[in-house]
Structure 1
Amino acid sequence: MPVTVACAQVAPVLGAVSVNLDAMAAQARSAAAAGASLVVFPECAVTGYPFSRTDAAAVASPADGPVAERLGALAASLGVHLAAGVIESSGADLYDALSLFGPDGARLATYRKAHLFSTERTVYAPGSAPVVVPTALGALGLTVCYDLIFPEYVRALVDAGASMIVNATNWITDPWQTGMGWDGPMVRSLARVRALENGVPVVMSCLAGSGGGFTSIGHSTIAGPSGRVLASLDAAEGLALAELPADDDADARRWSALATYRADRRPDLYG
Structure 2
Amino acid sequence: MNQRTASGPDPLQVSVAQMHCVPGDVAANLEIIEKLVALAVQEGAKLVILPEMATTGYFISDRLDELAEAEDGPTSRRLGEIAKRNGAYLVVGAPIRAEGKFFDAQLMFSSEGDRIATYRKAHLFSAEREWFSAGDAPLVVETPLGRIGMTVCYDLIFPEYVRKLADMGADLVINSTNWITDDFQRQRWGWDAPTVTALAKTRALENGVWLAMSCCVGPEAQFDSIGHSCIVAPSGMVVASLGRSVGIASHEAVFQDADLDRWRAIATYRSDRRPELY
Please say if 1:207 is aligned against 2:213: no
- Say whether 1:122 aligns with 2:126: no
> Equivalent residue for 2:269?
261
Task: Verify the 8 A CA contact 1:15 1:58 in the aligned structure 2.
Answer: no
Identity of aligned residues (%): 50
What is the match of residue 148 of structure 1?
156
Unpaired runs of 5+ in structure 1? Answer: none
Aligned length, in residue pairs: 268
Deviation at 1:246, TM superposition (A): 4.3
In 2, the alpha carbon distance for the partners of 1:98 and 1:125 equals 14
The alpha carbon displacement at 1:205 in A equals 0.2
The normalised TM-score by structure 1 is 0.97
CA distance in 1, matches of 2:172, 2:164: 12
Asked whether 1:38 is paired with 2:40, we answer no
Task: Indicate if the aligned counterparts of 1:7 and 1:239 stay in contact, CA closer than 8 A.
Answer: yes
Deviation at 1:91, TM superposition (A): 3.8
Q: What is the Cα deviation at residue 222 of structure 1?
A: 0.3
Amino acid at match of 2:27: S
Q: What's the RMSD between the two structures over aligned residues?
A: 1.0
Q: Deviations over 1:146-179 (max 9, x none)?
A: 0000000000011011111010000000001002
**Mapped pair 1:242 → 2:251:** yes
CA distance in 1, matches of 2:23, 2:60: 10
Corresponding residue of 1:163: 171
Contact 1:76/1:103 (<8 A) preserved:
yes
Query: Normalized against structure 2, the TM-score is what?
Result: 0.94
2:271 counterpart letter in structure 1: A
Instruction: Give the AA of the match of 2:36.
Output: Q
Conserved 8 A contact 1:173-1:182: yes
On the 8 A contact 2:204/2:235 being kept in 1, the answer is: yes
Is the CA contact (8 Å cut-off) linking 1:51 and 1:120 kept in structure 2? no
1:216 alignment partner in structure 2: 225
Change (3 A) 1:246 1:153: closer
Cα offsets for 1:48-104 (capped at 9, x unmatched): 11252x222221110011111011111111111100000001142110000001111
> Is residue 82–residue 102 contact of structure 1 (8 Å, CA) maintained in 2?
yes
Q: Which of residues 65, 69, 73 in structure 2 aligns to 1:61?
A: 69
SS of residue paired to 2:83 = helix
Which stretches of structure 1, 4 residues or more, deviate above 3 A after TM superposition?
Answer: none
Question: Comparing both chains, which one has the higher relative contact order based on Cα–Cα distances under 8 Å and sequence gaps of 6 or more?
Answer: 2
